[in-house]
A and B are shown apart, each in its own frame.
Chain A
Amino acid sequence: MSVLGERLAGLLGRGALEQAPDVAQAVLRSDRFRLEREGDWKRLERIVAEIERGRLRKVSDEDLLALPALYRMAASSLSIARETSLDEDLAVWLESLTRRAWFVVYGPRAGLWRWLRGFLGGGWGAAVRGLGPDILIALAVMVAGTLVGWLLVASDPNWYYALAPSGDERVPGASRAVLERTLFGNADEPALSVFAAMLFSNNAQVSILAFALGFAFGVPTLLLLLHNTAMLGALLWLYHGQGLTFELVGWLSVHGTTELFAILLAGAAGLHVGRAMAFPGEVAVLDAAAVAGRRAALVMTGVVLMLIVAALLEAFARQLLDATAPRLIVGGFMLVFWIGYLFVWRRGR
């Protein structure tokens, strides 16, 4: 045993940093293995520790470039150590080092902007198209909801109070003048931007809810879609009674094409997750849910962006454009834009 050390006196380890013990002192073969590589492991540990402390800037470019290679070396060292060494302390430490490095190497990509570029430049559209039939289901539910709302109120106007928000002058029996006033002539209203911000955070919260409720096999999402569009149907019926359908559609379409589209996508995303969990097919339920959930999360990020646009349109464009024709033009343009951007435009084709 004692001869081994002397025999190896010439074989010095590489990168003997941090006063690492001399390889010549090693009695055991597995310790030699360890001492020869310890410098690299310690370097990896230093880099990882800096990143864990949030001091990414203090890590030199050279170290950052070396990180993946060092990580792979640590991982392979761990495999070797498990087969050849009985040094438990080393094996456990290497496991923890590899794990920490794995968190860094396979963590989320730091560049949020780069991700956003990829998202806007095709990733969003691809995710939306990936929803497939769920969009059609959600669309059908929304159309059905509008019809149901209309028919309910038409059969018994008392339904209106159950469907529409209370405390408004838009009630059955309101005169044409009152209804018209809600559509036109608000251009000089103050605090438009505040209104927009409020609308946005409210709508965004509703759509996040619509998505999140998809978790329970999509049923609550459907109910939420139904309820919201039934309200729309009731409103349409009310204005139709006074011959203002066209004006109301114009009023709604400015932001409505964007907003309803966003709600449609949020509902479809929720349904997508719900459907994946209810009918996972060949894969395990949790795996199916994970794949669907990640795709739906992309769609939802887009939905929040769409709602920002919708809120801006609702607060500014609708109040500033005080006639039906320009409102319809803006609304129609937005609809064409979203369909073109999400469904027609594809990168690299």
Chain B
Amino acid sequence: MSARIASDADRRRRWLVTPEGVALPFVLASRGARAAALLIDLFLIGAAMVVTSLALLWLAQGVGLNLSDKGPAGHALQGLAVLWFLAMFLFRNAWFLAFELGPRGSTPGKRLAGIRVAARDGGRLTTEAVIARNLLRDVELFMPLVFLGGAMASGGDTDLAAWAGLGWFALFVCMPFINKDGLRCGDMIAGTWVVEAQTRKLRRPLALRPAAQAAPVATYRFGAEELAVYGEYELQALERVLHEDRAETLAEVAATICGKIGWSVGAEDHRPFLEAYYIQLRAHLEHGMRFGRRKADKFA
């Protein structure tokens, strides 16, 4: 039990100290989740670009204009063209910025993937940091695509320079895979990283004593040496078993504990027995904590 195998989430866990001095665990977003978020965002950007272009084209056709027209109609068309250029520029460069600076702090893709950007030092995520991390996206993402497109268009006789360029950009693209925090270049120069944004529900405390259930639980009384066999690790395992509330597991755990402390309980009494043992074990261990004595697990 003492040598627990580190799970994937444990390996991605990092501790940050908030400005209040509280250490908070963060789980770094997996590369898969980030790739998924990026793909969703790219798809949305592409869709937005297409829709905008079509809408402007439709407008232009609706007015029925051509560029050689010098009158007000020509000006209207020019206005539409300017709008198009600006919209394309903004979609390409401002999409990530606008969403990550907003109150929700993440793009639609990130939100769907359940991840978000945070400052690496535990302090405030500044506007400058968000701008910096998104400016680099251009070399990491769009430039390699342009290069790749160029290489494809020129067919087989791609020259050495193009290959060198491609290799160069491949380095940028592969950056998240060659450092342990999964930082991309933009994260490096902005001092940010991407973490999971999990939420969870608080369950009802186990050690409450609603009037109806109080009687059976209160009938069990354990002595100090009966409580001394387990530590915090076992207590928390028991807590999870009680929250899950599956009959087979309860029976199994109850049998194990009974074997250890030399008791025996009937089948229908498993849960009250375990609840009583949980409450009293916790009271015992917490009492020890208040006096600075902690017992990590049953081997301690």
Contacts and interface: CB of A to CB of B under 8 A. Distances in A.
A106 B19 contact: yes
Interface residues of B, number: 85
A95 B25 contact: yes
Given A106-B123, A108-B101, A212 B67 contact: no
A99 B24 contact: yes
Given A21-B204, A25-B208, A52 B188 contact: no
Interface residues of A, number: 84
Interface stretch (B46-54, B102-110, B154-162): B102-110
Given A21-B208, A190-B67, A86 B139 contact: no
A63 interface: no
A34 B86 contact: no
A77 to B, nearest CB: 10
A65 interface: no
Given A27-B208, A204-B89, A293-B191, A209 B139 contact: yes
A1 interface: yes
Nearest to B205: A31
A56 B103 contact: yes
Contact of B67 (A41, A109, A191, A209): A191
Contacts of B202: 38, 41, 89-90, 93
Contacts, number: 229
Interface string A77-92: 0110001111111101
B268 interface: no
A216 B167 CA distance: 13
Contacts of A27: 207-209, 279, 283
Given A28-B286, A99-B24, A102-B24, A273 B189 contact: yes
Given A98-B18, A297-B135, 18 more contacts: A27-B208, A34-B205, A38-B202, A86-B285, A92-B200, A100-B197, A102-B18, A107-B105, A108-B101, A108-B105, A112-B101, A197-B82, A204-B89, A209-B138, A290-B191, A291-B191, A293-B132, A297-B128
24 contacts: A1-B280, A1-B283, A2-B218, A26-B207, A27-B207, A49-B199, A79-B22, A86-B235, A87-B207, A99-B24, A102-B18, A108-B105, A190-B68, A196-B82, A201-B85, A205-B89, A212-B135, A212-B139, A215-B172, A289-B191, A290-B189, A297-B190, A300-B132, A301-B131
Interface of A: 1-2, 5, 21, 25-31, 34-35, 38, 41, 49, 51-54, 56, 72, 75-76, 78-79, 83-90, 92-93, 95-96, 98-100, 102-103, 106-110, 112, 115, 190-194, 196-198, 200-201, 204-205, 208-209, 211-213, 215-216, 273, 286-287, 289-298, 300-301
Interface of B: 18-20, 22, 24-26, 67-68, 70, 74, 78-79, 81-82, 84-86, 88-89, 93, 100-105, 116, 118-120, 123-132, 135-136, 138-140, 143, 168, 172, 183, 185, 188-191, 197-210, 214, 218, 232, 235-236, 239-240, 243, 279-280, 282-283, 285-286, 289-290
